[in-house]
Structure 1
């Protein structure tokens, strides 16, 4: 049975001493990041070239000799920080090479300031000797982390299969424990009903998040718009206190820190509601049809419109289509992406006439060929279904490039030089060699 890489997220409950140690680890990772920014920037100014990944990792033993507290952090976490820095630097160079404008290209890595409640630590499978489930029905258990001890975790789905890696993240006043593992797709464990339709076309939008070719639609929940009134009030309270604090040059008080925590908590709730809605909708869509047709939308380009930017960000179409893509692959469905520059709006799905382009204000239009009156979004979804059926009739070639899953660094044992983690035989235990994976322990 084919196995795929999956992830499970839990809420972690740490003791006071464990939280203190974790914040120290996060601070150490931030210190390594800042040293990479400092050393690499100075080297680039002098020689015009950046320090390679392999040379940056050679500084870790030197930094540990001068700063013994770095030795308390798992070695794989510090190596992962350097890897993230090199990836961010590569993205900046790639955008410069392609000549992207300043507003749309990725910038070079910057100095990270100390912010309470932010940061994460990467953990390899060697740093998690035990992951035990303590409840039969609910995903509750305990995870043993080397140098940190046993922590209680609670989530929505318990991982099964072979453990690859994990990450312990500080997210405000809560702690998030995410696990990456390799196991059969969920459809092999949970029975999925057969598809009710053979081909389904989806048209994404802002007023209706998804309009199906069958006529069904899912209205955009607009989680950010609903919470905007409360967010505005919390933001005003924090901004006034922050302005007065900077004017009087005072340190951050506990009351001011609580204002910031309340604001961040409200933003996290909006993000969690949006993610929950996306997961429910994507699961329903992939279970409904055998072949799904979607548009290759330029969401980043849509967000450049100042009148639509907030609504585009609130809808989260990119994340929704990403979830539809990998869930369709897990469940044995096929996903067809219509080209970004192919017309779908203003095309009659009945007679096949490609009419003139329609403005955003035109919601209902009449076909010049057959005289049918069409709803803008429903007709676009039916047109996508028509193109998808033509693709099916041609034999359904290889899946779209965005659907094919690329192997992760936790899944592949061999890493490219300068881009992956160190996998030497002597450093295997310290850097988390995943060639010898261990099964998750289920009690």
Structure 2
């Protein structure tokens, strides 16, 4: 199976190499700002002419904002705009123009209704001090040295890596990978290089291809599996909170920048800010490492993994839980499971957002009307089952996948799933209040709420018709 994945390595640049990389990142920013100013001027001019009653055929010609159009315009004007353009690679200017073309396309698609999610704003000019230095190379000499401690990039030369590149080097030597592009970027005060690689992965499946596991994510425990395994929540941000607050107070005592007076920050403030940035970067790295280990273990072991379609953006509006939810990384966990299940030949099933996995009894199928968040133990009044609420939800997710599989349908999907439901596949739906199972009270006055009955199962997960 061929797939595209990234290999990211930290770099140890010399002062001269860092100046050259910053020059390329600055060239990308100049090209981006020039092209954005050109497009903005034409758009404003056409809007002003329309306000004066000018006919459409007499308006100023529209400026194309696709990548080829921006390249042609830049090549025609670069001698006047940037007389020093020959000092940097052409890939640097292409980086800025490509970023602008993508941003303008996303903005146009968002306004036209072609793009889902939140509205995308019009692109902004990049600041030299606030923008992240980055440059992307797609052509030229891009390779990993045989010593596995250096990489070679166009115009930048041979760069030393902080860690070994053996994982990528082994695939390149075995001819099972091909480098498509390389991006040099400075994150949290450290330079990194990311290789976008086309990898030919061996067709190996999970160790337990017939096993199904339901995964319920939460704040008390990062993940609760239907098998009864509890994955503790490391709470990296809370553990590092004391150190981050101490460093932030130290930075606040230094002389920082002032945009109103134009005051430049002091060197001591810059060093203090670097310490705060490094502390936050360590938290992010620990969180990312823990999520990768968890998702890789699940994808390697289980053939079917069932998760919920959580509305994380809406959950973050709860100011009391927003910090803990963001620290847990619910969205990142699902994103990693989505592509890792494909790597290892498994399936990721996504239950519908309105499927009551927490309120449903995993023993008899009775559904509670209300269940407070403070109630950490699920007690069923119908069958007397007493169980941890997260474990109960995980078992319901696993049972939902089992019902969908025995019915001969495709993956359980819903709004926000990673792919559409196959024709005839079940979809977990929410029963409207005041209606009986499988129809109205008038149609089915004696409907039984038995989880194993066909009527209740059809109403709970849908019949796909």
> C-alpha offsets along residues 26-57 of structure 1, whole Å, 9 cap, x if unaligned?
11111122223322222222224774214322
Q: Are 2:65 and 1:52 aligned?
A: yes
Query: Tell me, what secondary structure is at the counterpart of 2:98?
Result: helix
Q: Are 2:129 and 1:109 aligned?
A: no
> C-alpha offsets along residues 216-275 of structure 1, whole Å, 9 cap, x if unaligned?
111111111111222222223323435576687532332222112111111111111111
Q: Structure 1 338/155 Cα, relative in aligned 2: closer, same or farther at 3 Å?
A: farther
Deviation at 1:76, TM superposition (A): 3.2
- Give the distance between the partners of 1:389 and 1:306, measured in 2 at CA: 36
- Give the distance between the partners of 2:109 and 2:373, measured in 1 at CA: 34
Residues 378 and 386, structure 2, Cα contact 8 Å, conserved in 1: yes
Residues 257 and 265, structure 2, Cα contact 8 Å, conserved in 1: no
- Give the distance between the partners of 1:236 and 1:86, measured in 2 at CA: 41
Q: Are 2:211 and 1:198 aligned?
A: yes
Which of 274, 278, 293 lines up with 2:306 in the alignment?
293
Residue 169 of structure 1 corresponds to: 185
> C-alpha offsets along residues 407-442 of structure 1, whole Å, 9 cap, x if unaligned?
xxxxxxxxxxxxxxxxxxxxxxxxxxxxxxxxxxxx
Deviation at 1:93, TM superposition (A): 4.0
Residues 9 and 165, structure 2, Cα contact 8 Å, conserved in 1: yes
Q: Are 2:242 and 1:226 aligned?
A: no
Which of 150, 154, 167 lines up with 1:146 in the alignment?
154
- Give the distance between the partners of 1:340 and 1:242, measured in 2 at CA: 49
Residue 119 of structure 1 corresponds to: 133
> C-alpha offsets along residues 66-106 of structure 1, whole Å, 9 cap, x if unaligned?
21323333323422322222322333344445599xx9533
Residue 181 of structure 1 corresponds to: 197
- Give the distance between the partners of 1:373 and 1:220, measured in 2 at CA: 23
- Give the distance between the partners of 1:253 and 1:26, measured in 2 at CA: 24
- Give the distance between the partners of 1:52 and 1:116, measured in 2 at CA: 25
Residues 118 and 172, structure 1, Cα contact 8 Å, conserved in 2: no
Query: Tell me, what secondary structure is at the counterpart of 1:362?
Result: coil
Which of 158, 162, 175 lines up with 2:167 in the alignment?
158
Residues 302 and 346, structure 2, Cα contact 8 Å, conserved in 1: yes
Gaps of 5+ in 1: 135-139, 405-443
- Give the distance between the partners of 1:387 and 1:162, measured in 2 at CA: 40
- Give the distance between the partners of 2:290 and 2:380, measured in 1 at CA: 35
**TM-score for both structures, normalised by structure 1:** 0.81
Q: Are 2:402 and 1:389 aligned?
A: yes
**TM-score for both structures, normalised by structure 2:** 0.77
Query: Tell me, what secondary structure is at the counterpart of 2:370?
Result: coil
Deviation at 1:338, TM superposition (A): 0.6
Deviation at 1:353, TM superposition (A): 1.6
- Give the distance between the partners of 1:172 and 1:380, measured in 2 at CA: 38
Residue 428 of structure 1 corresponds to: none
Choose between structure 1 and 2 for higher RCO, CA contacts under 8 A separated by at least 6 residues. Answer: 1
- Give the distance between the partners of 2:401 and 2:151, measured in 1 at CA: 46
- Give the distance between the partners of 1:237 and 1:187, measured in 2 at CA: 53
Task: Map residues 9-408 of structure 1 onto 2, 5 A cutoff.
Answer: 9-48=8-47, 51-53=64-66, 54-66=68-80, 67-97=82-112, 105-115=119-129, 118-124=132-138, 126-134=139-147, 140-153=148-161, 154-155=163-164, 158-159=167-168, 160=171, 161-185=177-201, 194-195=207-208, 198-242=211-255, 249-397=262-410, 403=418
- Give the distance between the partners of 1:37 and 1:247, measured in 2 at CA: 26
Deviation at 1:307, TM superposition (A): 1.7
Q: Structure 1 287/22 Cα, relative in aligned 2: closer, same or farther at 3 Å?
A: same
Higher mean alpha-carbon deviation, 244-253 vs 378-387, is at 244-253
> C-alpha offsets along residues 342-392 of structure 1, whole Å, 9 cap, x if unaligned?
221110111112221312112113213212112211111111011111122
Q: Cα RMSD between the aligned structures?
A: 2.7
Query: Tell me, what secondary structure is at the counterpart of 2:122?
Result: coil
Task: Map residues 415-434 of structure 1 onto 2, 5 A cutoff.
Answer: none
Gaps of 5+ in 2: 48-61, 172-176, 420-465
Q: Are 2:14 and 1:5 aligned?
A: no
> C-alpha offsets along residues 385-404 of structure 1, whole Å, 9 cap, x if unaligned?
11111122133526968557
Higher mean alpha-carbon deviation, 143-152 vs 387-396, is at 387-396
Residues 208 and 303, structure 2, Cα contact 8 Å, conserved in 1: yes
- Higher-Rg member (1/2): 2
Residue 462 of structure 2 corresponds to: none
Residues 11 and 155, structure 1, Cα contact 8 Å, conserved in 2: no
Query: Tell me, what secondary structure is at the counterpart of 1:90?
Result: helix
